[in-house]
Amino acid sequence: MLVMKETRKTVIGVDLDGVCADFYARMREIAAEWFECSPSDLPEEVSYGLSEWGITDKNQYESLHRFAVTQRELFKTMPMIPGARKYLRMLSDDGYRIRIITHRLFIHYFHASAVQQTVDWLDSHGIPYWDLCFMKEKEQVGADIYVEDTPDNVTQLRERGLQTICFANSTNRHIGSPRAATWREVYDIIRRSSAPGD
């Protein structure tokens, strides 16, 4: 009996917040409500940690984040970053394996809500994926190429020799190439640098 060996697919590890889902746009709306001000009072250009909105420490950020997720369904109500669905579907159709990796469980006691909102968002926006991983240490998921926007994560992945595309926004302007400002650019970089299977 002839057994066909399945070709291993190239795995793309894709972050959600700031890469597929527009975290900063939705969080700005919720933060305006939290601080009882107009969204126009909060600058669109922010650094990691949102100090431009008056967030001064980790406890304050976690309070806002907890309110956003538990009371305003942050992870379910974020708009999709244009092109995410289209180009992830194209990559999937090309033979790449999409592995969503997110660190959304960093605040205790509402993990079930965070997971459910995440799955609902992915399904409602038609984002194709094979695997969904909730973890901080993204290098441990075994992806071949990462698409990430958090500056520290990009730096750590690259320091471990892992191919990482920085999805550009105002929090990571100091991070060098490869960078992509759009999902079309992500797609082009991946197609130029790798084949779907080994």
Please state the domain extents for the chain: 11-22+79-193, 25-77
Mean pLDDT of 31-37: 96
- Catalytic, out of 15, 22, 144, 149: 15
Rounded-to-integer distance, Cα 127 and Cα 135, Å: 19
Mean pLDDT on 13-28: 96
Choosing from 17, 22, 144, 149, the catalytic residue is: 17
Q: What is the CATH number of domain 11-22+79-193?
A: 3.40.50.1000
Length of the chain: 198
Mapped onto helix, strand or coil, the DSSP state of residue 152 is helix
Q: Each residue of 171-183: b (16+ CB within 10 Å) or e?
A: bbeebeebbbeeb
List pLDDT tens digits, range 106-138. Answer: 666 667 888 899 999 999 999 999 999 988 888
pLDDT category of residue 140 using cuts at 50, 70 and 90: confident
Active site residue 17: yes
Residue with the two structure tokens 């970089």? 189
Segment 58-66 mean pLDDT: 91
